[in-house]
Amino acid sequence: MFEKILIANRGEIALRIIRACKELGIRTLAVYSEADVDSLHVQLADEAICIGAPPSSESYLKIERIMSAAEIGDVDGIHPGYGFLAENAHFAEVCESCKIKFIGPQASAMHAMGDKNSARACARKAGVAVTPGSDGIVETEADALKSAKKIGFPVMIKAVAGGGGRGMRASHNEASLLPMYHAAKTEAEKAFGNGDVYMEKLILNPHHIEFQIIADSHGKTVHLGERDCSIQRRNQKVIEECPSPLLTPGMRKKMGRAAVKLAESVGYENAGTMEFLVDDDGNYYFIEMNTRIQVEHTITEEVYGCDLVKEQIRIAAGERLSPHVADATPRSHAIQCRINAEDPEKNFQPSPGKIAFYYAPGGRGVRIDSHAYTGYVVPPYYDSMIAKLIVVAATRANAIDRMRRALDEYYITGIKTTVPFHSAIMRNAEFRSGTYDTGFVERVMISDQFELKPTSTRLHE
Ligand code: ADP
Ligand code: ADP
Ligand code: MG
């Protein structure tokens, strides 16, 4: 087992990993930017090293500085969390060459599944259905026109290196195709330093359903069911639930098998997620794999009764999958709301700054993964997510009621948050019916029944 792990991340996920290490008796080394001196991950780790200026390009993305910190701290493992360097195969290779274990998949699997275009090729080879689309990268305007005609409008133009909903544009007709093609390329170049795009058929009113995979280095691969992440804004998840209200046991079995088969076909090790779109007729299409722990891993943990981060660490240390994980079965319903420092009344514009007062909900079935506290200053440089509120209950209806209750208790002042937005969704009939698709947020936001009300706790008075 590891003696000391460096956490190459910040915020709630850095905290999540530190907590897992503490329970496993592993020492932790945090790295941080100058903007994160007062962050909880710095305070809770056994040791901490500053690695640079606030912009992530000057700190959390600087491989040399992270490796220097690893040398100084004499660590034997590095956990990358999600975002930043988590899906950077080069970083995994650098770790390997420094004889430090990268807690994630092997670099080769990251190469194979890391870019969306090659992941699609792997899926086709493994016999897993992908969204109909271009055979590879769409290099020129002429290629774009040809592909769109072959696929048929509407189409989705997507960055091969995409993530977080960026570098993606829909086009519904020939007139908008080239402007959207260039918009996707420009955004991808800016966000990922790689402007390559490909094209997919736009699936109408799809459901985003993803399967959690976990595999050890002894050849055992299992899935831990699905998460429904169809509640999205700008192609980014805002609420996730497990299990999906859409899937039948038959579909779960079929899609789970496909996900495991695809992971096995590339010799995948550690935790990962296969993302699918499911259409109205129950057809499912693989869209991408995330070769890392995900933001929403929490709901799977609650429903399947396991700790995915501890399991990642155990697997990276060469251990076999724990029996309780290999044989896990779903036993409840969980929902997660991503609480962002954004103003839902002002088109979700970022709301960084000092948290004047912070009180988080508690009680039965409530879990908070957050680095926020009273007095904490949310820096403007990073992702706006400041907390994940997770509830677990015996049934979906109970979970929704519990989430509504927990959101009402959440009390954060000084900055704007998305708590009232989540509250409104929990009260929405379409959400409660479980029939929603990825167009839900856009639809409800323009309906007059959708009202952002302050929560009901008397702390607000
Ligand atoms: P998840 O499926 O885990 O929710 P998201 O796509 O929402 O994943 O991304 C999780 C975090 O990682 C977000 O902060 C997002 O901005 C970041 N992220 C995801 N992919 C990339 C990428 N290719 N490059 C940079 N950041 C990314
Ligand atoms: P990212 O890497 O940004 O997470 P994904 O490929 O996972 O990108 O897509 C994110 C979301 O964008 C999906 O969950 C879905 O809502 C939407 N999307 C992506 N591809 C398509 C498609 N072909 N048709 C319809 N919606 C799509
Ligand atoms: Mg995705």
Q: At 81, which CATH number? A: 3.40.50.20
Looking at the fold, whether 218 and 278 belong to one and the same domain comes out as yes
Please spell the DSSP secondary structure of 253-320, one letter per residue. HHHHHHHHHHHHHTT--EEEEEEEEE-TTS-EEEEEEE-S--TTHHHHHHHHT--HHHHHHHHHTTPP
pLDDT for 226 equals 98
Domain stop point among 103, 118, 146: 103
Domain stop point among 183, 201, 219: 201
At 336 the three-state DSSP class reads strand
Using the structure block, give the residue that is written with the tokens 């769409």: 138
Phi-psi region of 283 (alpha: psi -120 to 50; beta: other; left: phi over 0): beta
Write the CB contacts of 28 (distance below 8 Å, at least 6 apart in sequence). Answer: 4, 5, 6, 7, 17, 18, 21, 22, 44, 45, 46, 47
Ligand 1: centre distance to CA 83 (Å): 5
Q: Is the CB of 81 under 6 A from ligand 1?
A: no
Ligand 1: centre distance to CA 397 (Å): 29
Do β-strands 236-242 and 221-233 pair in parallel, antiparallel, or remain unpaired?
A: antiparallel
pLDDT tens-digit profile of 95-109? 999 999 999 999 999
CB contact at 8 A, 388 and 368: yes
Looking at the fold, whether 86 and 157 belong to one and the same domain comes out as no
Looking at the fold, whether 256 and 311 belong to one and the same domain comes out as yes
pLDDT for 453 equals 79
Looking at the fold, whether 189 and 335 belong to one and the same domain comes out as no
Our CA angle for 275, 232, 178, nearest 5°, is 80
Output the six-digit token pair for 96: 């390997």
Looking at the fold, whether 220 and 175 belong to one and the same domain comes out as no
Number of continuous H segments (helices) and E segments (strands) in the chain: 16, 22
Looking at the fold, whether 337 and 431 belong to one and the same domain comes out as yes
Q: Is the CB of 115 under 6 A from ligand 1?
A: no
Helix-helix angle 174-192:141-151, to 10 degrees = 120
**Does the residue 125 lie in any domain?**
no
Ligand 3: centre distance to CA 162 (Å): 8
Domain count, the chain: 3
Task: Tell the residue nearest (CA) to atom 12 of ligand 2.
Answer: 235
Domain stop point among 82, 103, 124: 103
Output the six-digit token pair for 156: 């989705």
Active-site residue identified among 10, 292, 314, 367: 292
Q: Which of 120, 131, 168 to mutate to test the pocket of ligand 2 (most atoms within 8 A of CB)?
A: 168
**Does the residue 82 lie in any domain?**
yes
Looking at the fold, whether 194 and 80 belong to one and the same domain comes out as no
Q: Is the CB of 202 under 6 A from ligand 2?
A: yes
In sequence order, the β-bridge partners of residue 62 are none
User: What b/e string do you get for 236-245 counting C-beta neighbours within 10 Å, with b at 16 or more?
Assistant: ebbbbbbbbb
Looking at the fold, whether 337 and 294 belong to one and the same domain comes out as yes
pLDDT for 455 equals 65
Output the six-digit token pair for 12: 């709630």
Looking at the fold, whether 223 and 174 belong to one and the same domain comes out as no
Looking at the fold, whether 335 and 225 belong to one and the same domain comes out as yes
Q: Is 292 a catalytic residue?
A: yes
Atom number, ligand 2, closest to the C-alpha of residue 202? 24
Q: Which residues of the chain have pLDDT under 50?
A: none
Q: At 144, which CATH number? A: 3.30.1490.20
pLDDT for 457 equals 62
Looking at the fold, whether 298 and 435 belong to one and the same domain comes out as yes
Which residues place a Cβ less than 5 A from the ion ligand 3? 275
Atom number, ligand 2, closest to the C-alpha of residue 165? 3
pLDDT tens-digit profile of 288-326? 999 999 999 999 999 999 999 999 999 999 999 999 999
Ligand 2: centre distance to CA 212 (Å): 17
pLDDT for 56 equals 97
Residue numbers of the domain that contains 414: 207-446
CB contact at 8 A, 70 and 100: yes
pLDDT for 451 equals 85
